[in-house]
């Protein structure tokens, strides 16, 4: 049986990834494909338990290395129990964030470094890469206004970090995408959800041709 396709959506806070992930899945299902929609951190019971520890940490919070290890542990469970079995049975997987979030947040902004994050990913998840990463890129001013509406004062331990941290996340994402133009597609995330969805469908058209 043909292996399913693995598509990850990445971007900073308020980039509209989750809305786009759902719209993408709906379009793929409408074309008759079997698709799993999942997210990180999370996706399996174990990884969802680690998610709660990461986003609402006990005590004084995690140091950068402990945080990177916890994300890698959550991902390891998610890959072993959900993502690989789905792909091997021919299903498509659409994932709201994957290892490139760890590379951008913990590796770049958190200072753990890309090599260390990639090493953890090799140990935890056999280095699994998506077939395609959709990096949703939105103007900083638009993001700021979306986040004010969405989170108010209640963002989580990572989303609530300062401007410099999130600027470093954005810069690391941009650098990763330009270093791997085959693996990443930068999608303009400005405009209505329908407009962004149309751009995404144009980018994944070659994968759909192969699948039909
Ligand atoms: P989530 O509620 O999914 O945020 P968003 O809606 O912005 O995607 O929370 C995930 C948070 O965890 C988000 O701030 C990004 C962060 N994160 C990392 O720091 N490293 C990772 O590897 C992943 C997957 C997420």
pLDDT by residue for the chain (212 residues), tens only, comes to 678 999 999 999 889 999 999 999 999 999 999 999 999 999 999 999 999 999 999 999 999 999 999 999 999 999 999 999 999 999 999 999 999 999 999 999 999 999 999 999 999 999 999 999 999 999 888 887 887 787 665 689 999 998 899 999 999 999 999 999 999 999 999 999 999 999 999 999 998 888 76
On whether residue 61 sits in a domain, the answer given is yes
On whether residue 99 sits in a domain, the answer given is yes
On whether residue 114 sits in a domain, the answer given is yes
Nearest atom in ligand 1 to the alpha carbon of residue 158 is 14
On whether residue 121 sits in a domain, the answer given is yes
Single pTM value for the model? 0.96
Q: Which residues, judged by CB distance below 6 Å to any ligand atom, belong to the binding site of ligand 1?
A: 13, 17-18, 40-41, 55, 71, 97, 101-102, 105-106, 156, 158-159
What per-residue confidence (pLDDT) applies to 144? 79
On whether residue 104 sits in a domain, the answer given is yes
Q: Total domain count for the chain?
A: 1
On whether residue 48 sits in a domain, the answer given is yes
What per-residue confidence (pLDDT) applies to 14? 87
Domain residues for 112?
Answer: 6-211
Cα of 207 from ligand 1 centre, angstroms: 27
Based on the number of CB atoms within 10 Å of its own CB, is 207 exposed (0-12), middle (13-18) or buried (19 or more)?
A: middle
Cα of 122 from ligand 1 centre, angstroms: 20
On whether residue 167 sits in a domain, the answer given is yes
What per-residue confidence (pLDDT) applies to 150? 75
The CATH number that applies at residue 49 is: 3.40.50.300
User: For residue 108, which of 117, 120, 97 has the smallest C-alpha distance?
Assistant: 117
On whether residue 1 sits in a domain, the answer given is no
| Mutational test site, ligand 1, from 8, 71, 79, 97, max ligand atoms within 8 Å of CB | 97
Cα of 8 from ligand 1 centre, angstroms: 13
What per-residue confidence (pLDDT) applies to 152? 63
What per-residue confidence (pLDDT) applies to 80? 98
What per-residue confidence (pLDDT) applies to 111? 98
């Amino acid at each position: 049986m043909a292996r399913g396709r693995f598509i990850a959506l990445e971007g900073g806070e308020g980039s509209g990834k989750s809305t786009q992930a759902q719209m993408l899945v709906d379009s793929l299902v409408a074309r008759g494909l079997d698709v799993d929609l999942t997210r990180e951190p999370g996706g399996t019971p174990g990884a969802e338990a680690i998610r709660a520890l990461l986003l609402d940490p006990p005590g004084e919070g995690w140091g950068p290395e402990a945080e990177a290890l916890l994300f890698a542990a959550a991902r390891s469970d998610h890959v072993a129990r959900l993502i690989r079995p789905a792909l091997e049975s021919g299903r498509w997987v659409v994932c709201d964030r994957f290892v490139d979030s760890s590379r951008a947040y913990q590796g770049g902004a958190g200072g753990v470094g890309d090599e260390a994050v990639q090493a953890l990913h090799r140990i935890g998840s056999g280095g699994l890469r998506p077939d395609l990463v959709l990096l949703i890129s939105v103007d900083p001013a638009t993001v700021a206004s979306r986040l004010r509406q969405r989170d108010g004062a209640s963002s989580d331990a990572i989303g609530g970090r300062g401007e410099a941290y999130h600027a470093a996340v954005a810069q690391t994402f941009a650098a990763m995408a330009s270093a791997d133009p085959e693996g990443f597609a930068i999608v303009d995330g400005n405009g209505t959800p329908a407009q962004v969805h149309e751009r995404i469908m144009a980018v994944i058209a070659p994968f759909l041709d192969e699948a039909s």
